[in-house]
Amino acid sequence: MQLVLEKRTERSNTIALVSPLIAIGLTIVTMTILFAILGKNPLLALHAYFIAPLTDGYSLQEIAVKATPLVMIAIGLALCYLANAWNIGAEGQFLIGAVAGSWIAVKTQGTDAGAWVLPAMLVLAAAAGALYALIPAICKVKFGASEILTSLMLVYVADLLLDYLVRGPWRDPNGFNFPTTAEFDPVATVPLLIEGGRLHLGSIIALLVVAAAAILLGRTIKGFEIRVVGAAPRAARFGGFNANQLVILTFAVSGALAGLAGIIEVAGPVGHLQPGISPGYGFTAIIVAFLGRLNPLGILIAGLFLALTFIGGEQAQIAMKIPLDVTKVFQGILLFYVLACDSLILYRFKLVLANRQVTRGAG
């Protein structure tokens, strides 16, 4: 008896939908074993991870707040990945957006600048993120440099730049030498949706981004170009689509969205610029993009799910002393299973009775 992978004649849409669920199921099984090895009660741990955050209003809002940057970044990454452009540096573009937007907030601090401040911060952050993403894109198009490496390396540049600014020129003079800027003025802050709550306007922007991406990919010729260039580069050239232009375009859009997410995070839930504003949103968004099948709606769901693991991880740490790094292990295992399950979209398992000796009809 032999188990073989067999190519399907046409991709299975059912599996395309079910595969993330299978992956989540397998991840939970693996995590259960891991919790048991750590000497924790797996049922309690899973409850802390996946059920407890859903039971109170504060945690629910917090999930939406965490999902906001994940979804916005992942949408941009999905555009890149569909076009076969591998932007791994969204984390850096997120930080650069945060820095650029904060510049306006810092410069207008304490002045009577009006309501233009926040919109200007958003625009500048998006522009800065886009420009930062264009560096690897142009290096790829002009010199053939691997965008995977260059975009990733630029993450550390952005990280150190932010570190320098908050420890140096932008440090809050009244901040007891902590590496942080002063709290942003109200005009430089993303407004809350619920008074006294956590949910802010950024979540609405994220929803608009999801809708726009769904229309772009499903209905427009530009979205079609992006998909063809990734799926069949030679056919795309035959169709008259320029792959290099699309690398530039998708990187720019993806960088802009990451930059926007960065300033929304800083001017929203955080309220000032400081190191550690991101628990790795730019990297986790890669998982969100794939778990969501590079599909805008799927990314929205996947973003909420991954946000749940962040909140759940905190709860598990508080309640059961499970290290926070377990969340990262969880996310890594999840990506692994998602990619593995994806092979079932184009292949299927088949049980083959012993080879050669079988009579006709059994093969």
Partner 1 sequence: MPALQRMLDPTPSGPHSGESPLLRTVGLTKRYGDFLANDSIDIDVWPKEIHALLGENGAGKSTLVKAIYGLIQPSAGEIRWQGERIVLSGPAEARSRGIGMVFQHFSLFDNLTVAENVALGLDGKESFKDMSARLEQVSKTYGLPLDPKREVWQLSVGERQRIEIVRALMQDPKFLILDEPTAVLTPQEADQLFVVLERLKAEGRAILYISHKLEEVKRLCDTATILRGGRKIQTCNPRLETAASLARMMVGGEIKEVKPAAGRKTTIPRLVVNDLTLAPDEAHGVRLAHISFELKGGEILGIAGVAGNGQDELFAALSGERLSKDPGTIVIEGVAAGHLSITKRRKLGAAFVPEERLGHGTAPRMKLSENALLTGHAASGMVNHGFIDTAATLKTVDKATETFDVRKAKRDPEAASLSGGNLQKFIVGREILRNPAVLVVSQPTWGVDAGAAAVIRQALLDLATAGAAVLVTSQDLDELAEIADRIAVMFHGRLSAPLEASEATREKLGLLMGGSSLEPKEAAHAVGA
Q: Which stretch binds partner 1 (CB under 8 A): 132-140, 191-199, 316-324, 354-362?
A: 354-362
Q: Is 227 in the site for partner 1 (CB under 8 A)?
A: yes
Q: How many residues bind partner 1 (CB under 8 A)?
A: 29
Contact between 5 and partner 1 per CB under 8 A: no
**Interface pattern 228-247 for partner 1 (x via CB under 8 A):** x--xx-xxxxxxx-------
Q: Which of 41, 111, 146, 220 binds partner 1 (CB under 8 A)?
A: 220
- The residue whose two tokens read 């599996």 is 15
Q: Judge whether 100 and 127 are in contact, CB under 8 Å.
A: yes
Q: Closer to partner 1 at the Cβ: 276 or 363? A: 363
Q: Which one of residues 1, 3, 115, 221 is an interface residue with partner 1 (CB under 8 A)? A: 221
End-to-end alpha carbon distance in the chain? 11
144: left (phi over 0), alpha (psi -120 to 50) or beta: left
State the nearest-atom distance from the C-beta of 85 to partner 1, in Å.
17
Question: How far apart are CB 213 and partner 1 at their closest, in Å?
Answer: 15
- List C-alpha distances in Å: 273 to 177, 236, 257: 14, 43, 18
347 near partner 1 (CB under 8 A): no
User: Is the CB of 82 or the CB of 165 nearer to partner 1?
Assistant: 82
Task: Candidates 58, 146, 219, 332: give the one binding partner 1 (CB under 8 A).
Answer: 219
Window contacting partner 1 (CB under 8 A); options: 58-66, 176-184, 224-232, 246-254: 224-232
Distance (Å) of CA 269 to CA 82, 171, 191:
31, 19, 10
> 113-121: long-range contacts (C-beta < 8 A, 24 or more apart)?
113/185, 113/187, 114/187, 115/187, 117/185, 117/187, 117/188, 118/187, 118/188, 118/189, 118/190, 118/267, 121/188, 121/263, 121/267
Nearer to partner 1, 25 or 218 (CB): 218
Rounded to an integer, what distance in angstroms lies between the CA atom of residue 310 and that of residue 43? 18
Which of 41, 43, 119, 350 binds partner 1 (CB under 8 A)? It is 350
Out of 160, 204, 324, 358, the only residue in the binding site for partner 1 (CB under 8 A) is 358
| CB-based burial, 171-203: b 16+ in 10 Å, e otherwise | bbeeeeeebbbbebbebbbbeeeeeeebbbbbb
| Per-residue CA distances from 293 to 79, 189, 303, 342, 356 (Å) | 11, 33, 12, 9, 39
- Residue 204 binds partner 1, judged by CB under 8 A: no
Tell me the C-alpha distance between 127 and 151, whole Å: 17
CB of 247 to partner 1, least distance (A): 18
Residue 97 structure tokens: 């957006």
Hey, which residues between 10 and 69 contact partner 1 (CB under 8 A)? 10-11
For position 321 contacting partner 1 by CB under 8 A, the verdict is no
Least CB distance to partner 1 at residue 209 (A): 18
DSSP class of residue 32 equals H
Which of 97, 69, 62 is closest to 206 using CA atoms? 69
Q: What six digits make up the tokens of 96? A: 């650069």
Q: Which two tokens stand for residue 89?
A: 């540096």
Using rule CB under 8 A, residue 224 touches partner 1: yes
Considering only 36-44, 148-156, 223-231, 288-296, which stretch makes contact with partner 1 by CB under 8 A? 223-231
Q: For partner 1, which residue of 1, 6, 110, 173 counts as binding (CB under 8 A)? A: 6
In the complex, the smallest distance separating the C-beta of residue 222 from partner 1, rounded to whole angstroms, is: 6
Question: Which positions lie near partner 1, rule CB under 8 A?
Answer: 6-7, 9-11, 219-222, 224, 227-228, 231-232, 234-240, 350, 355-356, 358-360, 362-363
